[in-house]
Amino acid sequence: MAQKAAKQQAARNTAILKRTHLISLAITVFFLLLRLLVFWASCTRATYLLYAFLSAPAFAIEFWFERIGRPVTAPSGELKKPGEDLEAKGLTDFMWDILYWTWGCTISATILGDKAWWGYVVVPLYSVWLAWTTFGGMRKGMAGMAGKDAVADTSNGAMSNRQKKQEKRGGQKMQYR
């Protein structure tokens, strides 16, 4: 029963990595077979270069997941390191989104043609939007740290009714329970 959580993490990571590699292999084979056998007339060298270039982030992310998530065992079979959690929130979650989006664009480009690769532009646009909203929220949060006068002055000196009532009462008061 020792290291039960670590063993579960290792088993979960192994299953996730196996599934990810199989899906990636299936999508790549699907792309190559359909493009070579069915849509061979519309394929050029640029098609394959575009595939390689736009699939590179997915392959890099897959390699990274393999590197950080693969469990390490000793020659005796004992678990040395279970690997990082591949279901973690934050950057790992964002990397999964990029991987899924790349797979979707690859399938779309396989069936619809090279113009479907333009769907990949959504990823950088989403990143810019996410950064902008995060910065905007942080900026609003920092405005409250400037003090009561700065908060009241943010909207050209006009105070809300709530702020006026609080000002009359002598500001905010803490209630202890």
pLDDT digits (tens, 9 = 90+) for 125-163: 888 888 888 887 777 766 666 655 444 445 556 778 887
Task: Answer yes or no: is pLDDT of 47 > 80.
Answer: no
Angle at CA of residue 137, ends 133 and 140, nearest 5°: 140
- Residue 156 tokens read as 């050209």
Tokens of 102: 């790349």
More confident residue, 43 or 86: 86
Helix, strand, coil percent values for the chain (each to nearest 5): 75, 5, 20
Domain range annotation of the chain:
4-158
Q: 82-110: per-residue pLDDT in tens? A: 888 888 888 888 899 889 999 998 898 88
CA distance 69 to 14: 8
Looking at the DSSP bridge assignments, the partners of residue 81 are 72
CB within 8 A of 81, min separation 6: which ones? 71, 72
> pLDDT value at position 152?
46
Judged against a pLDDT cut of 90, whether residue 122 lies above it is answered with: no
To the question of pTM greater than 0.85 for the whole model, the response is no
Question: What are the two backbone dihedrals, phi and then psi, of residue 171, each rounded to the nearest 5 degrees?
Answer: 90, -175
